[in-house]
Structure 1
Amino acid sequence: MSRIALIAGEGHLASAVAAALDEPLVYALEHLTPEVAAKPFRLERLIPFLDELTELGVTQAVFAGAIRRPRIEPGLFDPRTMAIVPRILMGMQSGDDAALRAVLDLFEEAGIHIVSVDEVLPELVPGEGVLTGEPSSRDQKDAARASEIVHGLGPLDVGQGAVVAQGLCLAVEALPGTQAMLEFARLHAGLKPDPKGAKGVLYKAPKPGQDRRIDLPTIGPDTVRQAADAGLGGIVWEAGSVILLDREESVRLAHDAGLFLWARA
């Protein structure tokens, strides 16, 4: 019987995907702490892990949640995984996206097809439209500027977000993540030239050429709270390319805080 494996990362997404699947086998890298019960595995024993999945009848796998790069312990490699280490290391040297693609390729070579979150739960990825609020013409210009910044940084594998206010970039997303970016923007809100002008926007989008099977940007109620705390006017994202968790709660919180939510074409 064909089964699906959920490779769980951190954050709320993994639990949402687990709830939507029919009795998935749930696993997580040993150093992660997902919100769903998961059996740990180590990258140093990736080939035996893939063998285990195959023996259990797994033909599909979905990756959901944030995955931090593990600390590699050379003494834990088994001989067969050691043989593919050059492929993984080459990917790591090219950035996180390339490293993930190298791992995904190994899953596919083992006969395990990678399914994207938006294939499993298409309702989590909103199409074009404003969900609440109304972005002003100044907000729209800030969103366009933020989009240019995120797409410009994409080839450098830096991050998937930026905060722009009154045409100025207050912060870009890097390894510490979205919350750190918004906190930085909050601390530097005084840099906006007009205190009574546009409050600014958080913009999220995948990196150009990003493998959509994994690591799509995610926003949710926590993001809305953090954007409100940062004093922003709204959250904008690339329509059809960003996961929105708990849409009803996110919209409610944004409405109450006076923020707009906009899936931008």
Structure 2
Amino acid sequence: MPGTSGMAQEGHSDGRLAIIAGRGLLPLYLAQAARAEGENPFIVALKDEADHRFDGFEIISVGVGNLAAIEKSFRELKIGRVVMSGGVARRPEWRDIRPTLKTILSMPSVVRTLMSHGDDTVLQMVIKLIEGMGCTVIGAHEIAPGLLARLGPLGHMSPTGDDLRDIAIGVEAALALGHLDIGQGAVSVGGRVVAMEGVEGTDAMLQRVAELRIGGRISARRRGVLVKLCKPQQDMRADLPTIGPSTVENAARAGLAGIAVEAGRALVLEEAALISAADAAGIFVCGIDPTLENGGLS
């Protein structure tokens, strides 16, 4: 049976909410936002992935491939809605998967998807498996809409003309990368793409840019921009581009002028702390519309 019991009410007319929690602060923010709305969210903390405490919330810790344990808990607790949040660093090996009766027949397809497809395809598979448990999968922005990036600068700093040109190049690169279902981010410096996000994630990409700059492969005279966008085919219910104070810190270490994320389709965590860090570092953070000239920035 699931562990520590919370004391909030049983939840929502569409069924109780479950939060599948991976790495990072987003799952905790969603749990707190749901509780503030009078819900009693149930936390499914993924073993070796979830890295924050959920004190006071009802919680179960399961392996990322243990579908049977997840379905059992969902059935017992009358879960109706599920939100997937946080990062997952390692895909389960086929031997880690604990299927439900409903998924046994689809196991060859599940294993092939895990082994040979991009993140978006895998997330679509996971959504279908959860829906097969009789639940509705919803997006993080439906629980905490205030986390969505808004159009325009978030702090005191704004992009210059050179920065806007780097943003435009970064948008092209991020969209191309997204079409290939590889990543969501790119760094453009002086009108040249110098890094694109792979499976290592944004922070590791920014570390790579910092090392390239230290090694003289990137001019010290040109700063550059990080651009993060949804993949063109992305389902808004999973893996929205996310930035927080650590993104600002890593962008500053990489010598960048700023960060541009997709307004209305990216999440901003700890906004006040992020803005404070960006202003202190002298870099801009802004929401853009990639379909508009200059990203919709004046």
TM-score bracket relative to the smaller structure: over 0.9
Q: Which stretch has the larger CA shift, 253-262 or 171-180?
A: 171-180
Residue of structure 2 in register with 1:40 after alignment: 61
Residue of structure 2 in register with 1:219 after alignment: 243
Select the residue among 105, 111, 117 that pairs with 1:89: 111
Structure 1 residue 70, shift from structure 2 partner = 3.2
1:120–1:79 Cα change, 3 Å: closer
Code of the residue aligned with 1:25 in structure 2: it is: F
Structure 1 residue 247, shift from structure 2 partner = 0.6
1:53–1:250 Cα change, 3 Å: same
Residue of structure 1 in register with 2:208 after alignment: 184
1:43–1:226 Cα change, 3 Å: closer
Residue of structure 1 in register with 2:29 after alignment: 16
Residue of structure 2 in register with 1:169 after alignment: 193
1:73–1:192 Cα change, 3 Å: closer
Q: Residues of 2 paired with 1:251 and 1:208: CA distance?
A: 28
Residue of structure 2 in register with 1:57 after alignment: 78
Code of the residue aligned with 1:28 in structure 2: it is: A
Q: Residues of 1 paired with 2:65 and 2:245: CA distance?
A: 35
Q: Residues of 1 paired with 2:96 and 2:24: CA distance?
A: 30
Q: What SS class does the counterpart of residue 123 from structure 1 fall into? A: helix
Residue of structure 2 in register with 1:28 after alignment: 45
Structure 1 residue 62, shift from structure 2 partner = 0.8
Q: What SS class does the counterpart of residue 188 from structure 1 fall into? A: helix
Q: Residues of 1 paired with 2:129 and 2:273: CA distance?
A: 38
Structure with bigger helix share is 1
Q: Residues of 2 paired with 1:61 and 1:168: CA distance?
A: 41
Q: Residues of 1 paired with 2:269 and 2:275: CA distance?
A: 10
Q: Residues of 2 paired with 1:160 and 1:58: CA distance?
A: 31
Code of the residue aligned with 1:19 in structure 2: it is: Q
Q: Residues of 2 paired with 1:56 and 1:141: CA distance?
A: 52
8 Å contact 1:166–1:192 — kept in the other structure? no
Q: What SS class does the counterpart of residue 87 from structure 1 fall into? A: helix
Q: What stretches of structure 1 of length at least 5 have no aligned partner?
A: none
1:103–1:125 Cα change, 3 Å: same
Structure 1 residue 155, shift from structure 2 partner = 2.2
Q: Which stretch has the larger CA shift, 81-90 or 92-101?
A: 81-90
Q: Percent identity?
A: 34
Q: Residues of 2 paired with 1:143 and 1:153: CA distance?
A: 15
- Render the CA deviation track for 1:14-62: whole Å, top value 9, x for unaligned: 1111111122110122232331334222354414521320221100011
1:76–1:234 Cα change, 3 Å: closer
- Render the CA deviation track for 1:129-174: whole Å, top value 9, x for unaligned: 1112110111001001001001011122211111111011121111
Asked if residue 74 in structure 1 is aligned to residue 74 in structure 2, the reply is no
Structure 1 residue 188, shift from structure 2 partner = 1.4
Q: What stretches of structure 2 of length at least 5 have no aligned partner?
A: 1-9, 290-298
Code of the residue aligned with 1:55 in structure 2: it is: E
Query: Normalising to structure 2: TM-score of the pair?
Result: 0.82
Q: Residues of 1 paired with 2:100 and 2:288: CA distance?
A: 48
**1:200-239 alignment runs, 5 A limit:** 200-239=224-263
Structure 1 residue 82, shift from structure 2 partner = 3.1
Q: Residues of 1 paired with 2:90 and 2:267: CA distance?
A: 21
Structure 1 residue 3, shift from structure 2 partner = 0.9
Asked if residue 106 in structure 1 is aligned to residue 132 in structure 2, the reply is no
Structure 1 residue 75, shift from structure 2 partner = 7.6
User: Over aligned residue pairs, what C-alpha RMSD do you find?
Assistant: 1.9
1:178–1:54 Cα change, 3 Å: same
